[in-house]
Structure formats: C-alpha cells, structure tokens
Amino acid sequence: MSTGLNDEQIQRVLQGITIPPQPQVMVDLHMEQAMPEPDMSRIADIIAQDVGLSAAVLKFVNSAYFGLPRKISSIQQAVMMLGINAIANIVNGLAVKSELSDGAIESLHHFWDNAMDVAAVCASIANQIGFKYGDECYALGLFHNAGIPLMMSRFEGYKQVLESGYQSSNFELTDLENRTFKTNHSVVGYYLAKSWALPKTCCHVIAHQHRAHKLYTNRIAGDSKHLTFLSILKMAEHISGTYKHLGKAAEDYEWMDIGHYALEHLELTEYDFEGIIDVCREQGIGMV
C-alpha cells in the first residue's frame, strides 16, 4: 500500500472504524520519556494511578519470559526492570482493548495471547541474532495485527474472512479483505501505529507485512533494516503459531511461501532456525 494517502483517502479507508486515541497516561509517559533524564519513579507513579495498567505491568514482568526466581509485587521495581519502552508498549495494547466490548474482548482471547507471544518471540530472536532494536521488535510483534480487533468490531463476518485468508494455500489474506471490505487489517494497523507515534520502522512493516514476497523479491537499495524487522516478525509468527490461533489453518502457508527469504536475509540456515525455536521454548514462549 502507499503510505502517502491524502486526508480524503484516509477517511474513506477508515470509514466506520474508530482508531483509539492515545490514552492520557501514554501522553504523560511520552512527556517524561522526552526529558533529558527520565525519572523512573515518576513513571512508576503514573502507572500506579491506573489499576488495569498496574496489573498488566506486574503480570508481564512476572511472566515465564523473564523467569524470575520470585514474583515482583512492586510497580517501582517492575518499571525499573522493564524500562519505559516496554511500558509504553503495554499501555498502547490496553488502549486497543478499551475500544472493544467485553464480549468482543472475550471472543478475541486467542488474539491477545498470540500478540503477547509474538512480541516476546520477536524480542528473543532480536537478542539471539544480535539485532540491537529489541524494544522496537517487541512493539512490532505486539501491534502488527492491532488492526484485526478494530476490523472485527466494524465488519460483520470479518472473522470468517480472516480464517479463509489464512486457510488459502495461496495466502492472499489482505487481497481477500480488500475485495470484501474495501480495506484490510494492515492498513488499519498502520494508521493506528502512526497515530500513536510508534517507531517509523514498525509502521512501515505493519503496512506491508503481508506483501513480504514482493518486498523480498523487489528489494530497495538501503532497505535492509526494514527487511530485518520483517524477517524477525515472520519467524516469530511461525514459531508462535499465528496461522493456527488466528486462522484455524493446518499449515502456515505464508511461511511456506516466504520463510526461505526471511532466513536467507538474516543469513540463517534451517538448523539455525531450529536452534532459535529451541531457545524460545526454553524461555516458555512460542509454544504452538
């Protein structure tokens, strides 16, 4: 898709779809983050004002991903361990949920679990291959499919179209969405990410995430960084079984089409990939 749409085109694409505004707590966190020396105690105080956010932060820091010897109950301690970028990701994720009804949230149980899993696997892969943008990889994994719950809340029958797209051996998910709804979850996710000022690389990859074959085969000079983020995302989706959890598909048709490009770009062999999977499973993430 082109990310240079004018205002009229944007309104047409997003007609009837509410993009959740960035919550005030996120604004406060951004303001503190912009300070020459962010005050982590102030950040902890901001988080402690919101019960749901405090619970989410503690749940994440006490997850199997960190493997802490004992549980943390202090918001202050959790914030110091996670850092402001991880905190920002958690806040944004909760903002998407706030736009949905309780029934919609319940029906999207697998979506939320998979998003957290993909995010953790993205960060793990980045660490394993020595890619220094771990926080951005986590954000990409968490929000790459954020357009899905918004599409589901807007369009009746979206879930069936989503599953059909994943179950098609040609994997033309966004084409199917475009034909049915005149937009797709990658477009909606892009504008959501952009409205929250997520890293530009994340926004770009979210917009083009299901055009991977074209990006790999029509490489743009100097675009290696975007392809690295994309490759990590596709590996993480495969490891986390996104095709099963969201698409109810028996095979990961997208990975079958572009997986070798992702590994080739990162200069990894299939044996290397198996090793990455083993490490993720040892960390308790990516359990399909």
Condensed to tens digits (0 to 9), the pLDDT of residues 106-151 reads 556 678 788 888 988 999 999 999 999 987 888 888 889 988 988 8
pLDDT at 2: 43
Range(s) of the domain holding residue 71: 21-98
Q: Is the same domain home to 203 and 93? A: no
Pairwise CA distance, residues 221 & 113, whole Å: 36
Q: Is the same domain home to 195 and 217? A: yes
The residue with tokens 């675009």 is 223
Q: Is the same domain home to 2 and 128? A: yes
Pick the last residue of a domain from 40, 70, 98.
Answer: 98
Pick the last residue of a domain from 98, 122, 143.
Answer: 98
- Give residue 173's identity as a one-letter amino acid code: L
Nearest CA-CA partner of 225 in 266, 167, 282: 266
Q: Whats the size of the chain, residue-wise? A: 288
Q: Show the tokens assigned to 254.
A: 């997208």
Q: Is the same domain home to 25 and 161? A: no
Task: Indicate if the pLDDT at residue 5 is higher than 60.
Answer: no
pLDDT digit string (tens) for 63-117? Answer: 776 777 877 777 788 888 888 777 777 777 776 666 666 665 555 667 878 888 8
Task: Indicate if the pLDDT at residue 1 is higher than 50.
Answer: no
Task: Indicate if the pLDDT at residue 9 is higher than 60.
Answer: no
Q: Is the same domain home to 127 and 245? A: yes
Q: Is the same domain home to 91 and 166? A: no
The whole-model pTM stands at 0.74
Q: Is the same domain home to 172 and 85? A: no
Q: Is the same domain home to 50 and 80? A: yes
Q: Is the same domain home to 32 and 140? A: no
Pick the last residue of a domain from 42, 65, 98.
Answer: 98
